[in-house]
Structure formats: structure tokens, C-alpha cells
Amino acid sequence: MPQNAQPSFAECIQDTKHSAVHLEMRDDYGDNERFAAWRRGKRIDWDDRASWWRGFHDQIAGAVARGVSIRRVRIVSEPVSEYIRWEHHITRANIIAGEQVRWVPRGLASDLLLPCNDFWLFDDQLARIHHFAGNGSLVSDEFASEPDILKTFAVSFEAAWERGISHEEYTV
């Protein structure tokens, strides 16, 4: 990899040995074709795995098969946005791939100190920090390995995780 190149998600998860956690805090991540199709009434045929399984799911399933724990927490406003209703629907794919997912209504997170950006944290050694535009589109990713940042992210994730409602129990 060139010296200034940032690792892809696939490279990050492939190098992960123990755990990967993802904190999401936006109510909208912009438009995409799958979301647009859902808004038009198209629903996933869960029996047709080829229609919804993506490379991302392969990466998650491969990591889980290696013994990596993968957890995701989504902080959401209630009532939830249309985007979050769609995201809740498609989260079944994450669960099938091996992720553990919890939801935290924003009202239960008021006293938590959370970073202002979504992030992935790999083995508590590398953070991939997402920067979004106001419309929800991804602008850039930043990587951090400074111990203070990693500790802040780990502590904030665990606090949110403890408040979380399992995907199976959270209804939108």
C-alpha cells in the first residue's frame, strides 16, 4: 500500500484479530439505490440471499468465523426517520452475517459523552472515523491510532452498548 494510502474497510477487518465495533449516530446517511427502491415499496426477499448479500457481508462473516466479535450500536431519534426504518429492515443481513446490533433511542443517551463522528474501532488499536456532509453523504474517512482517542472511542462505545436494545427487541 502506498505510504499515504488509507486502508480499505476490507483491509481493516481482515487485519482485525479480536473485535470491531461501530458507532452510528446519524438519522440519515443520504440516498442510495437500495433505499430508493425500499421507498418505492420494494422489500427484500430474504429467501433469495444472492439478491441482498454483499461483499461487506462476506467480510463480516469471514471475520466472525475467525473469532472476531463485531458489534454495532445505532443512536437514533424517535420517532425514527424513514432512513432508520429502512436501516432497521436491512439490519437482518448484518445479523445473518454475524454482527451483534443494538439500538439506543437518543433520549436514553442524553447523559452519555459520545464523539461527534461515527466510527469503527478495530482491536482498540485503529479508529476509522467517518466525516459526513449535512445531507448524509460520506465526505471522508480519517484514521487515528493515538491512545487517548482510542480510549475515548472504546469507552463511549461501551457506554452506548450498555444502553442499547437488541435488534430483535427494538421496533421502529
Q: Where exactly are the structural domains of the chain?
A: 9-166
Q: Which residues of 5-38 are buried (b: 16+ CB within 10 A; e: fewer)?
A: eebebeebbeebeebbbbbbbbbbbeeeeebeeb
What is the model's pLDDT at position 26? 97
Longest Cα separation, the chain: 46
Residue segments in the chain with a per-residue pLDDT below the cut of 50: 1-2
pTM of model > 0.85: yes
> What topology does CATH give the domain 9-166?
Endonuclease; Chain A (3.30.870)
Peptide bond between residue 79 and the one before it cis (omega within 30 degrees of 0): yes
Q: DSSP state, 68?
A: -
